[in-house]
Amino acid sequence: MNTKSPTLLKKIPRGQIAYIACLGLFVGMICSKFLMTISMISFVVSGVFSPSIKKDFRKFRSNPAYWAPVGMFILFLVSALCSTNLEAGIIRIRIALPLLVLPISFAMMPNFSKQHYQQLLSIFIYAMLLACIGVLIYYLINYAEMQERLRVSKAIATPNDEHIRFSLMITLAVFAGFWLLQEKFYWKKKFEKWVLIFSILFLIFMVHLLSVRIAIGVFYSGLLVTVLYYIVRKKRYKTGLILLGLGACTPYLSYQYIPSVHSKVHLTLYNLDMYKKGHIGELSDTRRLLSYKIAWQVGQTAPWTGVGIGDLKDEQAVIYEKEYPDQKVMYPHNFFLTIYAATGILGLCFFLFCFFFPLFYNRNYQNLFFLLFFVTIFLSFMTENTLLMAIGVAIYSFFLLFSINYLSGESKIN
């Protein structure tokens, strides 16, 4: 029986399972949390059902880039176990579980070839293109309603009502397109380049139409990084200047000709003015700013070790009830602040080390898409608790580990 087991495992098409799981995950992240979960389970199957499990596990042990998300999970685990509210802590652990399981699975599965890596990124771009066309059609049909939603601090309707994560995925698709253009990728014919360019431009338009400020900020930050990348690393000054000109003109044109951008700018200024006057109300930005203030107060009670990730909301609730009884208790919409309040300065430093290590290990920052992925996630932490929600963990863990898997295979070839 033992001699037959490896033979049976060899017949499992693990590479094909991983490829199909990527396709399922793209659809799942856009519109189906169930499919997203099934796809992540498929990654585990592809990694664990190995005919040479001991040999493949060495790939995990020998590549420290895979250890970083595991370190994040351990930080969450320790903080949760040190919390008084163990039930809330367990919820955080459950959501973060992919940070423990997927690194081992991606390390053990076969490496994605450059061709498959590029193909899958291009499929992701076109999946986002189709989703955005649907969003645009719905927006145009319900134009007056969507503009009214923006006026009262709500968002344009998107799949799964995840407008922030959806917008960040659009920026990731744009950045994937930048890299594919750099690599001169095409499936069959060279003219596909123009289809890809059109798709990128349309997705850039959609980033502005949806008017999610963090996504717009990510786009322009990524555009600046891309300009610097082409100028410093590639010595392609002409391409850098073209991108710089695009980045300089687009904000003005967006403000002038895209109604949702115009509305969002004025709404933001109004929110800031209300907060300065001490009026919180039901406005999105004023409530976010209040959550920052209260989380900072909580963090100051235990600056080195934090109050525990399970107790953070309870500790905030005490201040809310005392000083702002009419407001809903909110986690701070800043993941760095959340980590500081929950795990202290020591935990925040450990988290930052784990976060940045894969980027610098083996000079992975030389890959443009991987570099821009880090720009996207880092800036998303500024306004969102990306790793406290399932879809945020899925986006982060997949693109991180998918890229590490590919880059580790490339390093062996080179």
Task: Give the tens place of pLDDT for each residue, 128-170.
Answer: 999 999 999 999 998 888 877 776 667 788 887 788 899 999 9
- Evaluate if residue 353 carries a pLDDT over 90: yes
Task: Tell me what percent of the residues of the chain surpass a pLDDT of 90.
Answer: 58
pLDDT of amino acid 23: 96
Helix (H, G, I), strand (E, B) or coil at 184: coil
Range with lowest mean pLDDT among 171-185, 256-270, 294-308, 366-380? 256-270
Cα separation, 395 vs 314, whole angstroms: 28
- Evaluate if residue 175 carries a pLDDT over 90: yes
| pLDDT greater at residue 112 or residue 331 | 112
Q: Are 171 and 218 in contact (CB under 8 A)?
A: yes
Distances (CA, A) of 225 to 179, 254, 361, 388: 12, 21, 19, 27
Q: What is the pLDDT of residues 260-285, one digit of tens each?
A: 666 666 666 666 666 566 666 566 77
pLDDT of amino acid 155: 76
| pLDDT greater at residue 324 or residue 179 | 179
- Evaluate if residue 8 carries a pLDDT over 60: no
Q: What is the mean pLDDT of residues 175-194?
A: 92
* Predicted TM-score (pTM) of this structure: 0.91
Highest mean pLDDT among 231-235, 298-302, 324-328: 298-302
Which tokens go with 208? Answer: 């502005």
- Evaluate if residue 372 carries a pLDDT over 90: yes
Distances (CA, A) of 303 to 267, 334, 348: 35, 17, 10
- Evaluate if residue 41 carries a pLDDT over 70: yes
Contacts of 323 (CB under 8 A, 6+ apart): none
**Residue the block writes with tokens 């909301």:** 313
* Main-chain phi, psi angles of 148, to 5 degrees: -70, -40
pLDDT band at 1 (very low <50, low <70, confident <90, very high): very low
Q: Are 403 and 367 in contact (CB under 8 A)?
A: yes
